Chain A
Amino acid sequence: DGGITQSPKYLFRKEGQNVTLSCEQNLNHDAMYWYRQDPGQGLRLIYYSQIVNDFQKGDIAEGYSVSREKKESFPLTVTSAQKNPTAFYLCASSVERSYNEQFFGPGTRLTVL
């Protein structure tokens, strides 16, 4: 079945460690996105990519990095520079036009110990 997978579902990290969240899609979508969700804050855009080997910063990119080497994959690295990384992270993809809806993965809940 087509869809988006994110792994792991739960992730624990010690302060000062980098951690990479996986996002894979088999929908043949050009665009992929990473969002951060905190209670009462809605979804905030971290990074997005509209095509392979290209990506753009979103509203809260500081302390995060991404890569887009393959159309199907858009991993997110939470670096030690991110001051408050504990959150729920959602990956999404879409056909690259604003009138198309986004498809979301199940999310990864990151907790920094």
Chain B
Amino acid sequence: AQKVTQAQTEISVVEKEDVTLDCVYETRDTTYYLFWYKQPPSGELVFLIRRNSFDEQNEISGRYSWNFQKSTSSFNFTITASQVVDSAVYFCALSETTGGSYIPTFGRGTSLIVHP
């Protein structure tokens, strides 16, 4: 069985603050993939990043960075110098490779509110 936990239901920050969204997962697979998606108020989920279980390098893309740690089964997402446009619901997802279904499991999401 797989499981994704996003313990933070809602985070509220003021613009320019740094914020980290937590994601903890459970899987028995040795090969798996982790994803982050952003859902702005318009409703459409947008893919942000994919990471496979063999690549623990941190990733940085502009103000976004991701910290993948297999030892703690975590894949956390940090936004540096947050902006109002970052306000959205962020989902972490896990996809296993065994079984053949390739169906990702999503966490419940973290709602980020950035105040001006």
Judge if B12 is at the interface, Cβ distance under 8 Å: no
Question: Do B47 and A98 touch (CB < 8 A)?
Answer: no
CA distance A109 to B42 in the complex (A): 11
Point out residues on A near B: beta carbons under 8 Å: 31, 33, 35, 40-43, 45, 48, 50, 56, 58, 88, 90, 92, 94, 96-99, 101-107, 109
Q: Chain A contacts of B96 at CB under 8 A?
A: 98
Give 8 closest A-B pairs by Cβ, nearest first: A98-B102, A42-B108, A98-B95, A101-B47, A104-B45, A107-B43, A43-B106, A106-B44
Q: Which residues of A contact B97 (CB under 8 A)?
A: 98-99
A82 to B108, CA, bound (A): 22
Number of interface residues of B (CB under 8 A): 25
Note all chain A residues with C-beta closer than 8 A to B47: 101-103
Residue of B whose beta carbon sits closest to that of A41 = B108
Q: A56-B101, A96-B102, A98-B103 are in contact. List 8 more A-B contacts (CB 8 A).
A: A35-B106, A42-B109, A90-B43, A92-B45, A98-B95, A99-B33, A99-B50, A104-B37
A-B contact pairs, 14 of them (CB 8 A): A31-B102, A40-B108, A58-B103, A90-B45, A96-B102, A97-B102, A98-B96, A98-B97, A101-B47, A101-B50, A102-B47, A102-B104, A104-B37, A109-B43
Given A97-B102, A99-B33, A99-B50, A43–B43 Cβ distance below 8 Å?
Answer: no
Interface centre among A40, A42, A56, A94 (most CB of B within 10 A): A42
- Pairwise interchain contact A105-B91, C-beta atoms closer than 8 A: no
B→A interface (CB under 8 Å)? 9, 32-33, 35, 37, 42-47, 50, 52, 91, 95-97, 101-104, 106-109
When chains A and B are docked, how far (Å) is the Cα of A94 from the Cα of B45?
Answer: 13
Tell me whether A105 and B44 are in contact in the complex, defined as CB-CB below 8 angstroms, given that A31-B102, A43-B106, A98-B104 are known contacts.
Answer: yes
